[in-house]
Each structure stands twice: as structure tokens, then as C-alpha cells.
Amino acid sequence: MRIEVLTSLYPSASRPVEGLFAERRWLHMRARGHAVRVTQPLPFASRWLPLARWRALAEIPAHETRAGIEIERPRYLHWPGRVRANAGAFARAGLNPILARARPDVVVLDYAWPAAAAVTKLRERRIPCVVSGRGSDVLEVAGEAGLADELAFFLRSAGHWCAVSRDLLRVMDRLGNAEGRGVLVANGVDAELFRPQAQNEARRALGLALAPTERLVLVCGHLIERKDPLLALEVFARTSEAQRLVFLGRGPLERKLADAIRARGLEARVELRGEVEPPVLARWYAAADLLLLTSRREGRPNVVLEALSSGRPVLATDAGGTAEVLGELAERMLSRTREPAALAAQLGRLLTSAFEPAALRAAVAHLTWESSLQALERCLQAAMDEGA
């Protein structure tokens, strides 16, 4: 297949961890013999702007090749607060280079909003397209007044969609007014990278000064409201069984979280380590005793899948497709409440329980990239067959 991917989230040389989960999918598809090209429209930005996030956008290259996949990044005018207009501008900027190239077999509108805004022009040209939902791009949009109707129109116009969790599919099927239409394309896990490793060796490699009996809790993800890192800090502070807490990730709540750590006098026990790339992340899973995830909303959290594949237990709040990943482990590792005291008690129980790493890894062994990619290929082929 000749696949064009229109997306708002993809790694770059200057931001190598951003959208890494999306890149994994398309690298695997390329390895299966498909021709994949990525277009990622970005707002106009300048290195001289005062806000760091806008300066970071300006540093992302306009053209790049990563592991054999070409990425083009046209710029568009983004106006704060004008969500619908920005989605249209994003779609126009992205479609210009796609339509100027050889006609693709299918276009994947990855990360549904705002990419789905390109559906109308693609259907006018009778180019098959599939809307791909990953989490907040569906759940937040569907929850905002007016935008749910707009996303629903794009889904019905496309006629084909997929998502990383059944929870997301239910929302997309409802919006598209077609129960059972969506296809589950769950992310797989790199079982070779994320595997059980000796904890003491991993701690030494990371330079952690921890006694073998000291328990380390890991929080991995963007420091944003829907991930609720402040709740994770609160839970840790109430748990006597945990000696250290490490946050891996960056985001707008970083300063607020650092202030909260200082206010509690936890500087010696809690660290903010920023973003890390996958090989280092695998070492952190090995060094940790447990992964803590306190999200308010989720698609299908990769970190839960990776931690279990690494042989580490998880405590996660009940959000989106998290329970789907945990499977039978949800009875012990999923919290139905966000109440800090109850979460702290559950964290303490998990930290003092014995888990066999091989058993945790076996619980997610079926979630392979092979099965995920086969499902994606069937979804794309169905769109192509219908558009033929």
C-alpha cells in the first residue's frame, strides 16, 4: 500500500519522544513492505517568541527522514481559541503536499482531531481515508460543545475509522452512527526492549543510590492536567511503603509539581527526570518496583503495557482503555476511585505483595505488533475496497 499519514503528533530531531507511539506503528508498517509518508502541519512559530513551547515548535525541521520515513512539516497560521478555524487551516496545509504527490492508496488521519478535518477534500477526490483515534483527540473533542457534531460529520464522511481501545471505538461508533463499524487497532509492545531485567543492575546503571529494600515508584507521561501528576504525588506522600518517586516526562504542570514537592519537603525523595528515550525508559521500568498512573482520561496507555512486559506491577486509575490492557490483573491493579487515601492504601498493598515478573509479562504477551498491524491492514484495505 501507498499510505499517506496526516498527523499532528510525530517525533522529530528536536523533540524525539513526542508522538513516539505513532512512529512505532508506521515504522512497523514500513517494515511490512508498505510505502509510508508522513505530513505533520505545524503552526508558524519563531525562535524569538517568549514562550518556550513556541520556540520549540520553531526548531522542528520542515523536512526530515527518520528510519526511512519521510516527514514533511508545512506551516499554517494558528489563532488561539479558534478551534474550528485552526482545524481547517491544519487540514489545508497538510493536504497541499499530499495532493501534489502521486495519488496514495489511502490516507490515514492519525490523531483524529484536527486531522479529520481533511476528510471532506479527500472524499471529493475519491481518495480513501481512515480516521484513527488515539485518546484525547476523540474524548476531549467529543466532550466539547459543538465539536462533537463536527467530528461526527467527519467520521460519517470518511466511513472508516479505527482506535487503540474499545472504549474509544464505542465513542467513535456512536458519533459515526454506525455501531460496530470501527476497528480495534491496539498498540503492540516491543517485547525485546521491554523485558524483565535485574533491578539492582538497572539502578546502578541509572546512578540511583538506593538500598535493595527501598521501593521506587515510577510515574511516566506528560505533566498535564489529564494525567494528574499532582494526585500521584499526593498518593506517594501518603504511602509509607514507598521510599522514592520518579517522574519521567515534561509538560505545563512541571513548575507546579516542583513547587508541590518543595512545599511537602520531599526534595530528597522525589525527582523530576524529564523525558527519556525508549532504551532508557526500559531501564527505568527495571529499576522501579511499580508504575503509578493517575490519569483522568486515557486512550490505551502504552506505559501500562510496557511496565507489565517489563515484569513490573501497575497501579492505575480507571480511565479509558486502561482496564483493557490490565485484563485479569485489573482486579488488583485498577482503582475505581481517585480518593488519595484509598489509592495510597492500594499502592501500599501492591508494593508489599510478591509478583512473578514472568507472569506479569505473560499477561500482555498476546498484545503483539503483529496482531495490531494485521488489524490495521484489514481496516485500510476495507477503505480502499469501498473507495475503488
Cell of 70: 519521510
C-alpha closest to that of 296 among 344, 342, 227, 234: 227
Give all strands of the β-sheet with 334-335 in edge-to-edge order.
Answer: 270-272, 244-248, 216-220, 290-293, 314-317, 334-335
pLDDT value for 45: 67
Q: Which residue has the cell 524569538?
A: 48
CA 141 to the chain's CA centroid: 16
* pLDDT tens-digit series, residues 104-144: 999 999 999 999 999 999 999 999 999 999 988 888 887 76
CA atoms 171, 372, 74, 105: torsion sign: negative
- Contact call for residues 34 and 1 (beta carbons, < 8 A): yes
DSSP strand pairing (290-293 vs 270-272): unpaired
pLDDT value for 20: 87
Q: Which residue has the cell 505533520?
A: 40
Domains of the chain: 2-188+368-387 (3.40.50.2000), 199-363 (3.40.50.2000)
Cell of 293: 498512573
* Residue 15: how many other CB atoms lie within 10 Å: 17
CA atoms 71, 72, 78, 83: torsion sign: negative
Helix axes 147-158, 136-143, angle to 10 degrees: 130
**Separation between Cα atoms, residue 382 and residue 388, nearest integer Å:** 10
DSSP H/E element including 349: helix 340-351
Q: Dihedrals φ, ψ of 66, to 5°?
A: -120, 115
Query: In terms of DSSP H, where are the helices of 80-165?
Result: 83-100, 112-115, 119-124, 136-143, 147-158
Cell of 17: 519522544
- Contact call for residues 228 and 247 (beta carbons, < 8 A): no
pLDDT tens digits for the chain (388 residues)?
999 999 999 999 888 888 888 999 999 999 999 999 999 999 986 555 555 666 677 888 999 999 999 999 999 998 888 888 999 999 999 999 999 999 999 999 999 999 999 999 999 999 999 999 998 888 888 776 578 999 999 999 999 999 999 999 999 999 999 999 999 999 899 999 999 999 999 999 999 989 889 999 999 999 999 999 999 999 999 999 999 999 999 999 999 999 999 999 999 999 999 999 999 999 999 999 999 999 998 888 999 999 999 999 999 999 988 999 999 999 999 999 999 999 999 999 999 999 999 999 999 999 889 999 999 999 999 999 987 5
